[in-house]
Structure 1
Amino acid sequence: MTTLELNQVILHHLLMDYKHPFVTSHGKVEKKDFYIIEIIDDQGNAGFGETEAFTTPWYTEETTETTRIMLENHLIPMLLQTPVKHPNELGKLFHSIRRNQMAKAAIEGALWDLYAKKLGKPLFQVIGGEKPSIDVGVSIGIKPTDQELLETIEEKCLQGYQRVKLKVKKGEELRVLEKVRTAFPSLSLMIDANGAYSWADQERLLALDQFDLLMIEQPFAQDDFVEHAKLQALLQTPICLDESIHTFNDLKTAIALQSCQIVNIKLSRVGGIQNAKDMHDYAKRRDMPLWCGGMLEAGIGRAHSLAIATLPQFTLPADTAGSAHYWERDIIYPEIKTEKGKIHLSQDPGIGYAVDYEALAYYRMEKRIHTRKK
C-alpha cells in the first residue's frame, strides 16, 4: 500500500439557490452556503468532498463557518503534515479534535474519492457496497397549503419515488396526515418533525399509529434516548432516530435502550464513511434496519451518500432524490437521476461523477488554497 502524497487542499466557497424553499419545523432553507473540498495529490489527481452544515446551528452545533474554521485551522494542516496510506487512518489522525463531525466528514470524503480514483474503482465497491442500484424516496418540506402538498406528493409518486417523507409542524400533523392518507391510502409514508415534540405530546404522537406510517423520525430532542425508549414501548409505529446518532456510542446506546426500531445514517452527521461503515456493521449484527438520510446536498455530497447506501444493511429507501429535485444546475455531470424509484450507481472510478468546473466557477464566491510545505 503506497502513501497518498498530498500537495494541495482547495476550499471552494459556493452559494447555490434551491429550486424550491425547503421548510421544516425550524424554519426555511432557500440557499446552500457551503464548501467543496478538493484534495490534489503529487500526480495531479483530485478527490472531492462537500460540507453539509447549514448557516445556523439548528440541525447540529456546526455551521458553514465553523466547518471552515475547523478545516483551515486544524484538519487541513494535520492532513498535509502527516503522511497517510488509507482514508481509514483519518479517524486516528483527527482523534484529538472532538466532535466537529461534519468538518471531518467533508475532508474524509474527498480523500476517499481520491483513493478510489487511484485504485481505478467506484467508491461504493471500495467501501464494500453490494448493490448496483438503490431504492430512493423523497423528502417534502412543509407546504403553504394542503393542496400544494397533495399536488407535490402526486408529482413525486408519478416520478416513481418509493417512499415519501413529510416534514411536519407540531399541532398540524394529524390534520395533514388525514388528508394525505385519504388521497394516498397505500403510499409508503413517514414523518419528521426534527425533535419538535416533548413527552407532553405523547397522546398526539400515539394518535399517529392510525396512519400506518413507515416510521416517525426524531420526535424528541437529539439527546433524549430515555424518553424515545418510553415512547417506542407505547407506539406500534417504529421510531427512527436521526439527530440523536452522531457516534458509534450513540448507536450502541439507542440499541441497548430500545430507543428506536430504525436508524437514519447521514455521512456528515456521523463523521464520514469509515464511521458509517463501523456503525453499519454493528447495526447489521443486531438486525437494526438502516437508511441513508439526505442533507439537501449538492452533487458531490449526494454521490457520497449514494455510495454508503449500497451497504447491505441499508434496507429502506434512501433520501437521495435526483439532482433536478433540488437544482436548476448541479455541480456534477451527468446529473444524478432517478429511474422508476431507483438510482443506478455509476461504475466510473471514485464518486462516479465528474465535477462541472464551469458550474463550480459560476456558484463560487471564494477560493482558498492550502499547499503542503516541502
Structure 2
Amino acid sequence: MRLERVELLHVALPLVTPFRTSFGTMTSKDTFLLRVVTDEAEGWSEFAADPEPLYCSEFVAGAETVIRDFLLPRVAALPEPTTAAVAPAMAAVKGHELAKAAVETALLDAELRAYGMPIATFLGSVRDRVPAGVSVGIKNSLPELIDDVEKYLDEGYVRIKLKIEPGWDVEPVRAVRERFGDALPLQVDANTAYTLADAPHLRKLDAFDLLLIEEPLAENNLHAHARLQRRLTTPVCLDESIHTASDAASAIAMDACRVINVKPARVGGYTEARRIHDIATAHGVPVWCGGMLETGIGRAPNLALAALPGFTLPGDTSASKRYFAEDITEPFVLVDGHLPVPTTPGIGISPLPDTLARFTTSTRVLYGGARKL
C-alpha cells in the first residue's frame, strides 16, 4: 500500500440543540475529516476535538499543523504505511493522540477496504448491534431536564448519562430518580469539574445507585481519584485521564477507577483502544465507549469497538438524530435501544458527496499535491 494523497476537509454541522457541559456550550460540530488515498483504496476519519482547547489540549487548527508538518512526513517515509507500521512511526511525536488517531484511522480504513475486511472483524467484535445510551447536557431547569430524559427514554435509549457541575449535581440526579425510578441505568459525568475537597458533597450521590461517576477530578491525577474512590461507593470512571494502555494499567493498579470510558480518538486510535479493552478485561474492569459528538464517520467505527466482549456497559453511541438534523453519512437509527455494527469493508460507511459538500467550509491538500487555502 502506497500513500498518494491526503486531504483535510473542514466541516461544520449545526447541532439540533445546544449541548452544555461543565467546560462550555456547543452549538455545532466544527472539525475536520481526513481523506487518505492510497494506490489500493481510500479511507476516511474524523478529528474528534473542537476549535478551542477546552475539553482537551488538542484543537482543530493545532491538529492540522501537527498532522501536516510532523505526522504525515513520518508516515510518507514508510516503505508501506500499514496500520502496524504507522503508530511506531508517529511515536516520536509526543502526545497529540487525537491527531494521531485521525491519521491512523484513515489509513486503517483504506487498508481494510483494500482487503475487503470490516473493522468489526479486524477488532474482534462479537455482536452485530450494541445497546445505546445517551448523554444529557446541563439544563436551565429541572423540568427541562425531566422533559429531555423522558423524550430519550421514549425513543428507546437504555441508559441515561447526566452532565454535572458544582451547583447542578445532587438535585438533578434526585429529580431523575424520583421521576423514572431506581431501575433506570443512570450515571453522571463531571468532566473534571470537582476537587478532592468536594468528596463529602460527592458522597451524597451514593444514595442514588449510579452506575458510575465519570472523571470527577482534574485529569491525569490518578492519586486524587484513588483517594476519592476510597470515600465513595459509586464506582469512579476515568475518561480524560486515560491516554494510553499504560495509563489504564496504572489506574487499575491504584484503584483510581473501577470503570473505564474508552474513546478511541483520545487514546490515539483503535489499536490502542483495543489494548485498553484487553487490559481492563483481564482485570475484570468493565469498559464502555464514550462519544465526542461524532458525525457518522466517527460513529461507525466506535460501534464496532463497542461490540467487543469487554464493553459490558451501554456507550454514548447515540443515533445520528441525537445531534444532527442531517448527518454527512447515511444516518444511524436506533432500533429497540440498539444501533447496528457496520458490516461493510473498512469503517463501514462513507460520506454522502452532496451532503458533505454542503457542510464543508474549506479543503486543503496536506500531502500529494498543492495545498489549497
TM-score, with structure 2 as normaliser: 0.96
* Mapped pair 1:180 → 2:155: no
* Mapped pair 1:121 → 2:103: no
String of CA shifts for 1:256-314, please: whole Å, max 9, x gaps.
10011100010111010111111111111111110000001111011121121111111
Q: Which amino acid aligns with 2:69?
A: N
Out of 68, 71, 76, which is 2:67 matched to?
71
**d(CA) in 2 for partners of 1:272 and 1:142?**
29
Q: CA RMSD in A?
A: 1.3
Where 1:8 maps in the other structure, the secondary structure is strand
Out of 110, 127, 142, which is 1:131 matched to?
127
* Mapped pair 1:316 → 2:313: yes
1:55 to partner: Cα distance:
1.5
Out of 161, 168, 176, which is 2:157 matched to?
161
String of CA shifts for 1:172-224, please: whole Å, max 9, x gaps.
21111111111011211001110111111111111111011111001110021
Q: Is the 8 A contact 1:53 1:67 kept in 2?
A: no
Question: 1:307 maps to what in 2?
Answer: 304
Where 2:237 maps in the other structure, the secondary structure is strand
Q: Which amino acid aligns with 1:79?
A: V
Structure 1: 4+ residue segments shifted above 4 A:
none
**d(CA) in 2 for partners of 1:67 and 1:345?**
29
Identical-pair percentage: 37
**d(CA) in 2 for partners of 1:354 and 1:245?**
29
1:355 to partner: Cα distance:
1.4
**d(CA) in 2 for partners of 1:144 and 1:40?**
46
Q: Which amino acid aligns with 2:283?
A: R
Out of 191, 196, 205, which is 2:193 matched to?
196
**d(CA) in 2 for partners of 1:226 and 1:370?**
41
Q: Which runs of 5+ in 1 are unaligned?
A: none
Where 1:59 maps in the other structure, the secondary structure is coil
Question: 2:276 maps to what in 1?
Answer: 279
Q: Is the 8 A contact 2:133 2:157 kept in 1?
A: yes
* Mapped pair 1:242 → 2:239: yes
Q: Which amino acid aligns with 1:21?
A: P
* Mapped pair 1:28 → 2:25: yes
Where 1:48 maps in the other structure, the secondary structure is strand
Where 1:332 maps in the other structure, the secondary structure is coil
Q: Which amino acid aligns with 2:110?
A: L
Q: Which amino acid aligns with 1:306?
A: L
String of CA shifts for 1:20-58, please: whole Å, max 9, x gaps.
110001110112221110011124x21100001111112
1:85 to partner: Cα distance:
5.4
1:344 to partner: Cα distance:
1.3
Question: 1:212 maps to what in 2?
Answer: 209
* Mapped pair 1:171 → 2:167: yes
**d(CA) in 1 for partners of 2:362 and 2:74?**
22
Question: 2:338 maps to what in 1?
Answer: 342
String of CA shifts for 1:71-95, please: whole Å, max 9, x gaps.
1111122222323353122111101
**d(CA) in 2 for partners of 1:83 and 1:292?**
34
Q: Is the 8 A contact 2:297 2:350 kept in 1?
A: no
**d(CA) in 2 for partners of 1:371 and 1:363?**
22
Out of 10, 14, 20, which is 2:11 matched to?
14
Q: Is the 8 A contact 2:43 2:106 kept in 1?
A: yes
Moved more, 79-88 or 11-20: 79-88
Q: Which amino acid aligns with 1:71?
A: I
Q: Is the 8 A contact 1:133 1:342 kept in 2?
A: yes
Question: 1:353 maps to what in 2?
Answer: 349
String of CA shifts for 1:107-141, please: whole Å, max 9, x gaps.
11111111111111211111211211111100011
* Mapped pair 1:62 → 2:58: yes
* Mapped pair 1:364 → 2:360: yes
**d(CA) in 1 for partners of 2:268 and 2:342?**
24
Question: 1:49 maps to what in 2?
Answer: 45
Q: Which runs of 5+ in 2 are unaligned?
A: none
Where 1:177 maps in the other structure, the secondary structure is helix
Question: 1:101 maps to what in 2?
Answer: 97
Where 1:54 maps in the other structure, the secondary structure is coil
Where 1:78 maps in the other structure, the secondary structure is helix
Question: 1:295 maps to what in 2?
Answer: 292
Question: 2:262 maps to what in 1?
Answer: 265
Q: Is the 8 A contact 1:132 1:310 kept in 2?
A: yes
**d(CA) in 1 for partners of 2:240 and 2:81?**
32
Where 2:302 maps in the other structure, the secondary structure is helix
